[in-house]
Chain A
Amino acid sequence: EPEVTQTPSHQVTQMGQEVILRCVPISNHLYFYWYRQILGQKVEFLVSFYNNEISEKSEIFDDQFSVERPDGSNFTLKIRSTKLEDSAMYFCASVGGLRGNSPLHFGNGTRLTVT
């Protein structure tokens, strides 16, 4: 079964540094998402992306965050200047259609640690 792939599995960075989290969604999917889970807390929506633009973003997704689909296969999340509170698990997800009968496929996540 095709799956969403995220790299790296664990990223450690210093506060103030830029990080790029990478995702390869399922090849025929059209809608892409990033979610975040701070350790011990619930999973939170960050942003959705369709047709090369953001379709919805949460209040968490401020100017420090950006997303891009640079080459038709990768879907990246960039954090420009990381803060300690950005430490979390980041999940990429993709889906083929906009109905709930096409469920989201999640990647295994990237654990981001900001020191």
Chain B
Amino acid sequence: AQTVTQSQPEMSVQEAETVTLSCTYDTSESNYYLFWYKQPPSRQMILVIRQEAYKQQNATENRFSVNFQKAAKSFSLKISDSQLGDTAMYFCAFMKYQGAQKLVFGQGTRLTINP
């Protein structure tokens, strides 16, 4: 079974700073997808970024980028020029390459951006 671990329950940075959220996972699969989801106080689940394990290039989406280290089974999220609207819970998630698209989530990191 796959597991996803986020070792930082809470983080706090000043607006405009860069912050990195950590995620590690365990799987025997060779091909899979990894995701970061944002959950603001409204509790909505918003996809932030997605990485395909067979792609060596790290995914980027505007201010969001990942550092994907397949051998180390590490998938960190970097938020550059952080904004107040980035305040949210962030969940790392794993999904097998094929199948019923069951997402396995980590415990989440509560990120607070301070003005």
- Measured CB to CB, the residues of A under 8 A from B are 31, 33, 35, 37, 41-45, 48, 50, 55-56, 89, 91, 93, 95, 98-101, 103-104, 106, 108-109, 111
By the criterion CB–CB under 8 Å, are A43 and B91 in contact? yes
| Main DSSP-derived SS at the A contact region | strand
Report how many A-B pairs have Cβ atoms within 8 Å: 65
Q: Which of B67-113 contact A (CB under 8 A)?
A: 91, 93, 95, 97-108
Docked pose: A68 CA to B68 CA in angstroms: 38
Nearest-neighbor residue (CB-CB) of B98 within chain A = A98
By the criterion CB–CB under 8 Å, are A101 and B98 in contact? no
> Across the interface, which residues of B come within 8 angstroms of A111, CB to CB?
43
By the criterion CB–CB under 8 Å, are A100 and B43 in contact? no
Nearest-neighbor residue (CB-CB) of B97 within chain A = A100
Docked pose: A103 CA to B104 CA in angstroms: 14
By the criterion CB–CB under 8 Å, are B104 and A108 in contact? no
